[in-house]
Structure 1
Amino acid sequence: MKIGMNLLSIIPGHHAGIYAHSRNLLHELTKIEHEHEIILFTNKEGYENLKVPEEYGQVKLPISGHSREQRLLAEQIFLPMYAAREGIDVLHSVDYLAPIMAPFSTTATIHDMNYQRVPEGFSWLKQTAMKTLVPLSATSADTVFTVSEFSKREILDLIDIESEKVQVVPNALPDTLIETSPTFPSELTSVRNSKYLLYVGTTHPHKNTTALIEAVAQIDPVPPLVVCGPKRSDADAVERLAVEKGVSDQVYLPGYVEDTELAGLYEGAAAYVQPSLYEGFGMPLLEAMYFETPVVASDVAAIPEVAGGAAVYFDPYDSTDIADKISRVMDDEELREELVDQGRQRLNKYSWEDSAHKLIHHLEQLR
């Protein structure tokens, strides 16, 4: 069977969670036993920069991964033609959207329903496109994949499809962090020997970093907070709030950092905090557990499903509760040791090998 992988939206270093999901599954598929030929369909940037296993064929479509309009047009019109020309039997799309009409079987991974549940972080145009095309992709696809039981429930609640059509293929620990040698970012040496807090992700509204700033301002003494991830326009609001709350000298936004530095930040943190209002999975939770960093997290969405008993939970809408739970984890050494131990056990629940087997199994049903 010829399996096509739709990677038209993927650019290394962008869309971190979806890129990590795709990269790790693709690498794991080279290790498990199957007899299928896999061909990747990429944009111009992906074709030049994706470090893909040599076992895969690769077809470049003449579009930029930075252009949403080009991606949407190519996905619905040109990708089916390119894939048909390659003799594809089933095309798997990794980023929500699949061709709605195609002369072969199609599947798509819908990671969450954030564009519906927390639309504040999306432009009107993107919201409209997602609200139109995601349901069409899901209903026309032969199988829909997602990354957690929570996201499966969300999909079934918001899209009119059968439960049996939605299959859970979970994320796991990104291999780039396992394989790296940790270093500490030189621009953050002032916090290296302190009991600092770490958050990894964007500053989109649903990530709730403003509530985290408000919580940190209530802790005495105020701990340093490192907010690590791609800087976007909404980062300005986070920085303004830090100034307003009088904690700007303790809040650091270094932006995107390389894996080696991210590993160093995880290793040195007193606690990892996940304040999100909405997550379809939350890979940083597993990353923190791998580096034996205690986790404090929201009690909503997929977060409790992923972290289980390896986290202390707070109400993300209550900054005082966030502050109290952070303080408790920072001050209680016995609790910290228990969380680290629970984290080691929790990591065993998630495996890219298992997820790759599940993906191939369900794709094989479509031959």
Structure 2
Amino acid sequence: MRIGIDISSVVFGTGVSRYTANLTRTLVAHNPAETFTLYGGSLRQKEALKTFVKSVGGHPRVKLSFFSPTLSSLIFNGIHLPIEMMTGKLDVFHSWDWYTPATKYAALVTTVHDLSALKFPSQTHPAIVAHHRQSLKWIKAEAKAIIAVSQSTKQDLIDLVGIPAKRITVIHEALPSEQLINPPTAAISAIKEAYGLSKPYFMIVGSQEPRKNIPRMIKAFSSYAKTHQLLIVGKTGYGSFKKPGFVATTGYLTAQALACLYRGAEGLLYASLYEGFGLPVLEAFYHQIPVVASNTGALPEVAGTAVSYCVPTDVDSISQAIDDAIKHKDQLIAHGTKRLQSFSWETIARETMRVYESVAK
């Protein structure tokens, strides 16, 4: 089978990036009889794409273009040109949900990670909302199969986009291999000092955007301001928040730095309004810290009984969940370690291949 995969997203340092990188590596490693073509478009980060391709191993064909995200959107979402003009003939092409190319011969498979732009349009930049609507229009019209990373995302596709359930397969994500790091104590101490973390601290991990619910989490955490700190890790996004003295921010971090901060933390605070999956929960499980999570979106599906749940719109509920996480730390860590074993990239790759086989021409 001739399988094309869009790897353009691997350079962005997001959850989608980690999904694409880990799935691609595992697919190529476990399916040597198949012919893989890795397509990537970037104007400024071609070298990063080349570095990723070297990490994949095997002998995939590689097709790189100078198309930036904006140009890719124009070409594939707007003009809607076929991907085969870049890749040559394929049996299957696996795209992501930022843009959706046409295909001449290949069966189109798309992974949808979340529908936050449609669920919270007033809290999302209008251009991003319009962009996602356009891509989802093509996905609904042309994708032979759609992979949703959670049952929650599948239901959103049914309810908000009108895609029939039979076209959607749920395949969960797993712990990114980039976080399989056991940092030394000296490295943990050094990074804590670099960010002024002199007290026990909780982490918020994710892009700084309204659906991440950062203002409520800060307010809920304020009762711990005398004894703890709150560290916000992630890129600046659409929206803003006030930063009191007990809050520190880092911006985007390398995997090594993130691992060090997880290992030094008292817990992960993840009371977002909506998540399509929630990779930081699995990362926290691996690094053995307790998790406070919302009882909405995909988080209950992912976390099971291994976290302290809260109602994300209720500050008092978030505060109580933090209390519970601290009190039941050891129990939650044990449950999280066990829960993590439910997710593996080998299983994901095997189930993804079944999707390819079901639609290949």
- Same fold judged by TM-score > 0.5? yes
Structure 2 equivalent of residue 204 of structure 1 = 209
Query: Within 5 Å, which residues of 2 pair with 1:247-262?
Result: 248-262=244-258
Structure 2 equivalent of residue 245 of structure 1 = none
Does the 8 Å contact 1:191/1:224 carry over to 2?
A: no
Residue 29 of structure 1: CA displacement?
1.2
Amino acid at match of 1:356: A
Does the 8 Å contact 1:3/1:38 carry over to 2?
A: yes
1:210-244 CA-partner distances (Å, limit 9, x unpaired): 1111111233635200000112363xx32xx23xx
The SS at the match of 1:365 is helix
* Whole-Å separation in 2 of the counterparts to 1:215 and 1:108: 38
Query: Within 5 Å, which residues of 2 pair with 1:1-367?
Result: 1-8=1-8, 10-12=9-11, 14=12, 16-33=14-31, 35-44=33-42, 45=44, 47-50=46-49, 51-52=52-53, 53-54=56-57, 55-65=59-69, 68-74=70-76, 76-77=80-81, 79-83=83-87, 86-100=88-102, 102-179=104-181, 181=183, 183-184=187-188, 186=190, 188-189=192-193, 192=197, 194-219=199-224, 221=226, 223-232=228-237, 234=239, 237-238=240-241, 241-242=242-243, 248-330=244-326, 332=327, 335-367=328-360
* Whole-Å separation in 2 of the counterparts to 1:259 and 1:309: 27
Residue 362 of structure 1: CA displacement?
1.0
Does the 8 Å contact 2:146/2:168 carry over to 1?
A: yes
Amino acid at match of 2:30: I
The SS at the match of 1:353 is helix
> Structure 1 residue runs of 4+, over 4 Å off?
190-193
Cα separation, partners in 2 of 1:358 and 1:212, compared to 1, 3 Å: same
* Whole-Å separation in 1 of the counterparts to 2:45 and 2:104: 23
Does the 8 Å contact 2:72/2:99 carry over to 1?
A: no
* Whole-Å separation in 1 of the counterparts to 2:38 and 2:123: 30
Question: Unpaired runs of 5+ in structure 2?
Answer: none
Does the 8 Å contact 1:108/1:138 carry over to 2?
A: no
Amino acid at match of 2:137: P
Residue 90 of structure 1: CA displacement?
1.1
Amino acid at match of 1:39: T
Does the 8 Å contact 1:97/1:137 carry over to 2?
A: no
* Whole-Å separation in 2 of the counterparts to 1:339 and 1:151: 26
Of the structure 1 ranges 295-304 and 52-61, higher mean CA displacement relative to structure 2 is found in 52-61
Does the 8 Å contact 1:216/1:222 carry over to 2?
A: no
* Whole-Å separation in 2 of the counterparts to 1:102 and 1:185: 55
* Whole-Å separation in 2 of the counterparts to 1:263 and 1:296: 18
Of the structure 1 ranges 203-212 and 70-79, higher mean CA displacement relative to structure 2 is found in 70-79
* Whole-Å separation in 1 of the counterparts to 2:28 and 2:135: 31
* Whole-Å separation in 2 of the counterparts to 1:187 and 1:339: 25
Residue 197 of structure 1: CA displacement?
0.6
Cα separation, partners in 2 of 1:358 and 1:308, compared to 1, 3 Å: same
Residue 259 of structure 1: CA displacement?
1.1
* Whole-Å separation in 2 of the counterparts to 1:320 and 1:36: 53
Question: Unpaired runs of 5+ in structure 1?
Answer: 243-247
* Whole-Å separation in 1 of the counterparts to 2:102 and 2:238: 33
How many pairs align? 349
* Whole-Å separation in 2 of the counterparts to 1:33 and 1:233: 40
The SS at the match of 1:99 is coil
Cα separation, partners in 2 of 1:157 and 1:261, compared to 1, 3 Å: same
